[in-house]
Amino acid sequence: MLKHIVIAAVLAFAAPAMAASSAVPQSMDAVHLTFAPVVKKVAPAVVNVYARSVVQQQVNPLFADPFFQQFFGYSPQMRRRVEQSLGSGVIVGSDGLVLTNNHVIAGASDIVVALSDHREFKAKVVQADPHLDLAVLKIDTKGEKLPTVEFGNSDDLQVGDLVLAIGDPFGVGQTVTMGIVSALARTQGSASDYSFFIQTDAAINPGNSGGALVTTEGKLAGINSSIVSNSGGNIGIGFAIPANLAKRFVESAGHGGMQLAWFGADGQAVTADIAGSLGMSAPAGVLLKSVYPGGPAAQAGLKVGDVVLAVDGYATDDMQSLNYRVAVHKPGDAPSVKVLSGGHVKSVSVKLGEPPAAPHDAATIGGRNPLTGAKVETLSPAVAFELHMDSGAKGVVVTGTTPNTPSSGYGFQAGDIVLGVNGQQIGSVKQLESALNAAGGQWDLVIDRGGSRMRLSVSG
């Protein structure tokens, strides 16, 4: 619990030439600046989140080769190891609803929420999303109403605004730090697939994840999520998930999960070269490189080569910012989109939807082949959208692997797209299974990983 607040005072001394327009402060109010009232209001609603998980660890990693295990019948010995993590959270519902980062509680078997008055409650996960890096927890307050933090409008933030970061860094106890909004719309962070972070120089350290970034009005501006650091400590570059996206996530908790709206197009940031070729005075917007037939963007008249300049009046300078502007809407909403098309700027209304789920074809690969144990799905717009791939991507995508199987041993990763087996183009799970089984002990695979093609040849 924070016992003392450091009071900041700023005294300005004018140069002699400006002495006539300067004045000595006439009262303590003129030199005494404090955020104590804001902290007193918000701090009781910021909590600690303790997560405990049990992991399996192989005793002898020398025998981890999956083919060795398969052909010689070796069963690796495993031992259990308990891991604990510490983070922060924000009470957003007086009935015990707590918002935090997904990475704070991911894989946890036990979660404990500790209030600022040191009371502890076991928590259950109501909703968690690794793509958004957000999670909503629920604690049983036995009817007691808890203090909450009110959501602010993160779109109202400006660079230079003062903000406070409240959390539990390094487990030392609740701590408050002050800084400014250093930048907006940062898309280089890695904690969330919907990268559109508020950057701040308010000190954020390990343990602050999931804590509150608040305005000087005591409203939630964002959820502290990640830092840039070579040492693991604060160097003045911290990122927070904007409150507007977090609010959408909380509102969907307990109602079937957050349904992300689909724009139906993919693109890239406009570079200086692209801007010159389009006759633009400066680089801006997202150049559409694919538009899904019949999707929301196509129905609104958008086409390949158009440039999306803004959504709802907010600039979209890369695909991440466009994704974010769409994500704060629900399917069925129709935001105004500013587009450069054919040399002319126009505004169109795009009615957002949900991506088509067909074909729905998933399986876990069996048999004896390099992909044994891989969980795969035929790519549909819905699957591509979930995995943040191009809407028109084709092939069979790996969504996960089973530990101690050939697929994990050969390093297959979620997001890998199997394009071909022994020269045969692969377009569905059934085609993949048939090609693997007919290979006769020699598999030549073509894999797409993040836009780069790789080949894997295996005999056995």
Which pLDDT score, from 0 to 100, does residue 263 have? 95
How far is residue 178's CA from residue 191's CA, in Å, rounded to a whole number?
22
**306 in catalytic set:** no
**Which position among 116, 209, 380, 408 bears the catalytic label?**
209
Same domain, 144 and 188: yes
Which pLDDT score, from 0 to 100, does residue 101 have? 94
Average pLDDT (86-93) is: 93
Instruction: Look at residues 258, 273, 303 and tell me which one is the last residue of a structural domain.
Output: 258
Same domain, 179 and 227: yes
Residues 411-435: tens digit of each pLDDT: 999 899 999 999 999 999 999 999 9
**452 in catalytic set:** no
Pick from 185-199, 213-227, 382-396, 401-415: least confident: 185-199
Pick from 63-77, 188-202, 440-454: least confident: 63-77
Average pLDDT (328-332) is: 93
pLDDT at position 105 over 60: yes
Q: Convert 206-219 into a string of H (helix), E (strand) and C (coil).
A: CCCCCCEEEECCCC
Is residue 354 in some structural domain?
no
Which pLDDT score, from 0 to 100, does residue 256 have? 76
Same domain, 313 and 378: no
Is residue 198 in some structural domain?
yes
**Which position among 103, 129, 226, 329 bears the catalytic label?**
103
Which pLDDT score, from 0 to 100, does residue 11 have? 28
Average pLDDT (2-28) is: 43
Q: Which residue has the higher pLDDT, 273 or 201?
A: 273
CB-CB contact of 85 with 423 (8 Å): no
Same domain, 271 and 330: yes
User: Max Cα separation, the chain?
Assistant: 93
Q: Which residues contact 333 (CB under 8 A, 6 or more apart)?
A: 261, 351, 352
Residues 251-272: tens digit of each pLDDT: 999 777 788 899 999 999 999 9
Which pLDDT score, from 0 to 100, does residue 302 have? 97
- What percent of the chain shows pLDDT beyond 90? 58
pLDDT at position 109 over 60: yes
Q: Which residue has the higher pLDDT, 143 or 206?
A: 143
Output the domain CATH number for residue 165. Answer: 2.40.10.120
pLDDT at position 235 over 50: yes
**Which position among 85, 129, 133, 201 bears the catalytic label?**
133
Which pLDDT score, from 0 to 100, does residue 309 have? 97
Angstrom CA distances, 156 to 181, 244, 249, stand at 12, 10, 19
Output the domain CATH number for residue 273. Answer: 2.30.42.10
Is residue 74 in some structural domain?
no
Which pLDDT score, from 0 to 100, does residue 21 have? 47
- What percent of the chain shows pLDDT beyond 70? 83
Same domain, 239 and 375: no
Range of the domain at 282: 265-349
In this prediction, residue 229 has a pLDDT band, given cuts at 50, 70 and 90, of low
How far is residue 379's CA from residue 384's CA, in Å, rounded to a whole number?
6
Instruction: Look at residues 304, 326, 349 and tell me which one is the last residue of a structural domain.
Output: 349
Is residue 11 in some structural domain?
no
Which pLDDT score, from 0 to 100, does residue 194 have? 60
In the chain, the number of structural domains is 3
User: What CA dihedral angle connects 104, 133, 231 and 49, to 10 degrees?
Assistant: -20
Average pLDDT (322-349) is: 95
The three-state secondary structure class of 153 is coil
Same domain, 100 and 227: yes
Q: Which residues contact 429 (CB under 8 A, 6 or more apart)?
A: 361, 362, 363, 376, 377, 378, 396
**129 in catalytic set:** no
